[in-house]
Chain A
Amino acid sequence: MSGRVDGWRWAGRVFLVLILLFTAVPMVWMLLTSIKSQFAAMQYPPQWWPKEPTLQNYTKLLDPTNPVGNDFLRYMWNSFYVSLATTVLGVAVAVPAAYAFSRFRFPGRTFLFFAVLLRNMFPAVVFLMPLFILMRWLGLVGTHGSLILTYLTFGLPLSIWLLKGFYDNIPIQLEQAARIDGATRFQAFLLIVMPLSVPGILATSIFSFIGAWNEYVYAATFLNRQDQLTLPVGIQRFFAEFATDWPGLMAATFLMSVPVVVLFLVLQRYFVRALTEGAVKS
């Protein structure tokens, strides 16, 4: 029997190697391309290993005196600013809502909750036109406010759902004890529950931040001035009319991915917990 068990284990290892190649090879090729010159990248058959590796694509993008670098850094700042605002506001709105869903039973609670979840189901594209008209009416077209407001609502259902899971795990007796010890309901929430929900808030924040950082469709529609663009929209400019600067684009793509990947690696535990929260009942 042990022979058969070993067979399964070997199959697992082979599978892991294959799937690691599937995952990593494209990313490695992105990095290899990004340290080639335009000329070296456009060869057939390709240079498997760059003959003359160069960091010129990166220095160009990160140099504020270079027009390309100036734009790129501005896009990055725009992305950062919009993502951070979305995250902070999103948490501020989601925390009380999630707490209410976790703690109270009130008429319409179930209905509200389903409405929140169903919001997850609708694609960005079909909301694009009505939201564009709404933003036009609110006078927000062409401002980062339109993006922040939109990302906020997109993130909310998930944020509320994630945070609710965390609040469900905080024993209600802690609040009861605080209220008996002389706290008001609000003080019990602020002084006892809030400090305990920090991991939940972190997990939720990663999600909203990554979601906002990566968003493309609304950013492409709502923004109209060059200097306002966020990264996913901005790097389209590397497609020149006739010849794409592929090494430059790969370098830009890499730099665009760095913040979210770093954020993910640092807060991986919370990220994974947030992903699986609610779907798995142990």
Chain B
Amino acid sequence: MAVTSDPASGSLRRDDGLLRRIVAHRADYAYVLPALVVMMVVIAYPIWFTIDMSFYKTPASLQLRDRTFVGWKNYETILTAPAFWSVTLNTVIWTLASTFFAFLLGLGAALSLHREFAGRAVLRAILLIPYVISAVAASYLWKWLYHSDFGVIGALSVQWGFTDKPINFLDNIHTALPSLIVVNIWREFSFAMIMLMAGLQTVPEQLLRAAQVDGANAWQRFWHVTAPHLKGVSMVTVLLLMVANFNSFIVPYLMTGGGPAGASDIWITHIYQIAFGRQNWGLASAYSVILFIVMMCLGYFYVQALTRGDKGRPE
């Protein structure tokens, strides 16, 4: 709407004052209230509880009246523990490698599926199944594939002459983490594929034709026309994958439990182990707070990428 330059605008009233605006919109809040109440109870309370708890030493029974205040000691314990850095390194490798390969496979699949051909819809549906089934199902399935004695992967690698005897994938400190990453990629790549396929549809056909007329080859067309159009959706996809991987618990927990000797232990499984294995609730809470902070940073970029150009309608 245009701003008037009319000198008569002295007579105009301006809505001002936050309180007055809230009162004016009071009916609108009724729509959000149910969602808000549920979220407050189940989200705000746990966050506050975790932050509070991170400054206490608590008994294993979780009886809160028996806790003692210890200040920043829990944080000190975490950051000075030798395990912290190896777990952090695992978390970084796990998150980045899973994200990178899932995105790469997803991009390849999206580009290959972009052109119409018979059976495309069926193929897309099959590729999406691992994303739809539960992580629990995927974990048991791959645990069986990796089985030390009767696993099909071990048997195949012997049959094709890669190794002399079946590898114990999940019980070897060198192969445990990469094996889990493969499972994660298997589950997630089709998410990237779907996002990027949707992104590819926004690439204007005319631009590709114009580039072809200008003499660009397939690679140049991808790099100069397609890739820039995929930038936004790629950012959202990568961030979502990173968040999901950073937070993924079921696959490592059910398949290796963080072992052997912590070789596949990441932050989430480590926190679970401290809380529910060692029953050290205060320490686990402090760990969670550190994780919150990391997530908030990722969350900031997530929101930035998501809300590009999102403007609500004026009313």
Contacts and interface: CB of A to CB of B under 8 A. Distances in A.
B34 to A, nearest CB: 5
Nearest to B291: A126
Interface residues of A, number: 98
Contact of B109 (A4, A15, A257): A15
Contact of B42 (A106, A116, A153): A153
Contact of A112 (B32, B142, B150, B291): B32
Given A45-B155, A107-B21, A117-B303, A93 B34 contact: yes
Given A23-B130, A275-B191, A278-B306, A44 B198 contact: no
Interface in B114-163: 115, 123, 125-130, 132-137, 140-142, 144-145, 147, 149-150, 152, 155, 158-159
Nearest to A108: B22
B308 A16 contact: no
A134 B53 CA distance: 14
Nearest to A135: B42
B136 A214 contact: yes
A240 interface: no
Given A45-B155, A129-B275, A150-B42, A20 B123 contact: yes
Contacts of B217: 1, 4
A9 B113 CA distance: 10
A275 B295 contact: no
A244 B275 CA distance: 28
Contacts of B314: 105
Interface string A224-264: 00000000100100000000001001100100110011001
Interface of chain A: mostly helix, strand, loop or mixed: helix
Interface in B24-81: 25, 28-32, 34-36, 38-39, 41-43, 45-47, 49-50, 53, 62, 64
Given A23-B127, A45-B155, A276-B198, A122 B295 contact: yes
A42 interface: yes
B250 A216 contact: yes
Contacts of A246: 144, 147, 150
A106 B28 contact: yes
B202 A280 contact: yes
Interface stretch (A26-34, A49-57, A61-69, A191-199): A26-34
A123 B133 contact: no
Nearest to B235: A279
A162 interface: no
B145 A29 contact: yes
Contacts of A116: 35, 39
Contacts of A153: 38-39, 41-43
B303 A250 contact: no
B149 to A, nearest CB: 6
A214 B133 contact: yes
A199 B34 CA distance: 22
Contact of B31 (A4, A104, A279): A104
B39 A27 contact: no
B249 A106 contact: no
Interface string B148-184: 0110100100110000001000000000000000000
Contact of B315 (A41, A105, A253, A279): A105
A119 B39 CA distance: 9
A30 B134 contact: no
Nearest to A213: B134
B313 interface: yes
B201 interface: yes
A122 B32 CA distance: 21
B28 A104 contact: yes
Contacts of B142: 26
Given A101-B312, A214-B135, A121 B302 contact: yes
A33 B134 contact: no
B125 A268 contact: yes
Contacts of A122: 43, 47, 247, 292, 295
B135 A216 contact: yes
Interface string B247-283: 1011000100000000000001001100110000100
Contact of A214 (B109, B134, B291): B134
A133 B62 contact: yes
B1 interface: no
B96 interface: no
A213 B21 CA distance: 42
Contacts of B109: 15-16, 19
B177 to A, nearest CB: 19
A212 B115 CA distance: 35
16 contacts: A46-B155, A118-B296, A121-B302, A123-B247, A124-B249, A125-B275, A129-B275, A130-B45, A133-B62, A134-B42, A134-B49, A149-B42, A216-B135, A235-B136, A257-B134, A264-B132
Given A104-B315, A275-B194, 4 more contacts: A101-B32, A130-B45, A279-B195, A282-B202
